[in-house]
Amino acid sequence: MRVEVWADVVCPWAYIGKRRLERALADSPESRAEVVWRPFRIDPMAPERAVPLSEELRDPVVDAALSQCAPGVSPAENRVRVSRIAEEEGIGTRWGAAWRADSHAAHRLLALALDSGGSLVQGAVAEGVMRAHFVEGRDISAHEVLADIARQAGFPQGGALLSEGAGDRTVRESLLSGKARGVKSSPTLVIAGRSLTGAQPAEVIGEFLRHSEGRKERNVPAEVERFRQAEALLDLGDPLGCLTLLAPLLEEQGEDRGVRLLAGRAYFRSAQLTRAETVLERLVAESPDDSYARLLLGRTLERQGRDAEAAVHLRVAAAMTPAYER
């Protein structure tokens, strides 16, 4: 059984959730699980160079970002609660992040650790990163700090890989994948399509594990899953995210009509009208009876101020599908 933990390493509840998941697994020896960490960002606007958190907490924008760790609870209340609970969970009496740090590099390190050493090495890196941030007061956006954490976790090549820029695309695509799958808070546990949101008590997590035992992951080809997630992002109003996930499919399956039509829709929604026109003109030429492609092409031309050209396609589309008539 694979347990995916979608979490941000700068979210205190992610660290508490890690401890509770570990206890739930220890209390349920029959639940043999591989724990894999996936990225989530609660503060994507964190500065590239870390700044003292005590100063930043006076900024309401930062408080709003941190509220994603505990929806419905004010960040100030959350900080008091989490400090007490962290001590109860045995994480440490000295608790509290010292820096507002960009977690992107840390997520890259986690992705690289999984790829290079598997889930056990990744778990050791996750522990090291969160301990450094919340207990040791270190700046986890600094590559030298992450390189040290990687060495201690048995991943000595991690620092060099970070310096080379490795893992960036993996993390960016994973963030989009999580969004497409409906992950909205840190932490969120996912097992075979079932999810449990928040750092729930170990007993609740244990029950979730037991009910998930034996469930199988959907056996869907990777390219099909990527297409579905790209389409979901477009439906969520993120056409640029859609195009990011769609890019490999356009390279590998550029002749697939469904892939091209989704790209055309995303180009149109992101106001890349010249690209949309190029894709849609070819689709209409190949299948003149595709009323939706004609409709979208007409609207693309219309948005460019080419009303006469647009009218031809819009009339044909409406004739084939009356619902398209204005």
The CATH number for 278's domain is 1.25.40.10
**Burial status of residue 274 (CB atoms within 10 A of its CB: 0-12, 13-18, 19 or more):** exposed
Higher-pLDDT residue of 30, 166: 166
List, as one string, the DSSP characters of 68-108: GGSTTS-HHHHHHHHHHHHHHTTS-SS----EE---HHHHH
Q: Are residues 171 and 206 in the same domain?
A: yes
Check pLDDT > 70 for residue 24: yes
Helix, strand, coil shares of the chain, percent, nearest 5, are 60, 5, 30
Residue pair 13/77 in contact by the 8 Å Cβ criterion: no
- 184 vs 6: CA distance, rounded Å: 9
Asked, for residue 292, whether it belongs to a domain, the answer is yes
Token pair 């849609």 is at which residue?
280
Are residues 186 and 48 both part of a single domain? yes
Pair type for strands 188-191 and 194-197: antiparallel
Q: pLDDT digits over 95-105, tens only? A: 888 999 999 99
In one-letter notation, the amino acid at residue 190 is: V
User: How high is the pLDDT of residue 70?
Assistant: 63
Band the pLDDT of 170: cuts 50, 70, 90. very high
Which of 166, 9, 5 minimizes the C-alpha distance to 101? 9
Question: 3-class SS at 6?
Answer: strand
Owner of token pair 């209409």 = 284
Q: Which residue is listed with tokens 């647009």?
A: 310
Closest CA to 278 of 304, 246, 252: 304
Shared domain check, 185 and 70: yes
Within a domain: residue 279? Answer: yes
Question: 191 with 215: CB under 8 angstroms?
Answer: yes
Cα separation of 78 and 98, whole Å? 16
Give yes or no for residue 61 having a pLDDT over 70.
no
Number of domains forming the structure of the chain? 2
Give yes or no: residues 192 and 308 share one domain.
no
Q: What is the pLDDT of residue 15?
A: 96
35 beta partners: 3
Average pLDDT over residues 248-260: 95
Same structural domain, 116 and 86: yes
Same domain, 236 and 287: yes
Task: Pick the closest to residue 173 from 246, 96, 116, 102 (CA basis).
Answer: 246
The answer to whether residues 21 and 153 belong to one domain is yes
- The pLDDT tens digits of the residues spanning 108-162 come to 999 999 999 999 999 999 999 999 999 999 999 999 999 999 999 999 999 999 9
Q: Is the pLDDT of residue 213 over 70?
A: yes
Q: Judge if 25 and 105 occupy the same domain.
A: yes
What CATH number is associated with residue 198? 3.40.30.10
pLDDT value of residue 62 = 65
Q: Which of 212, 242, 265 is the last residue of a domain?
A: 212
> Residue 23: which domain range?
2-212
pTM beyond 0.95, yes or no: no
pLDDT digits (tens, 9 = 90+) for 263-317: 999 999 999 999 999 999 999 999 999 999 999 999 999 999 999 999 999 999 9
Q: Are 91 and 19 contacting, i.e. CB atoms less than 8 angstroms apart? A: yes
Greatest pairwise CA separation for the chain in angstroms:
72
| pLDDT single digits (tens) 32-59 | 789 999 999 999 999 989 999 877 666 6
Task: Provide, rounded to the nearest whole percent, the portion of the chain with pLDDT above 70.
Answer: 92
Mark which of 157, 192, 212 sits at the end of a domain: 212
Q: Which DSSP state fits 198?
A: S
What is the C-alpha to C-alpha distance for residues 294 and 264, in angstroms, rounded to an integer?
11
pLDDT at 29 > cutoff 90? no
138 SS3 class = coil
**Together in a domain, 246 and 143:** no
Last residue of a domain, one of 170, 192, 212: 212
Distance of alpha carbon 169 from alpha carbon 9, whole angstroms: 18
Q: Residue 217: inside a domain, yes or no?
A: no
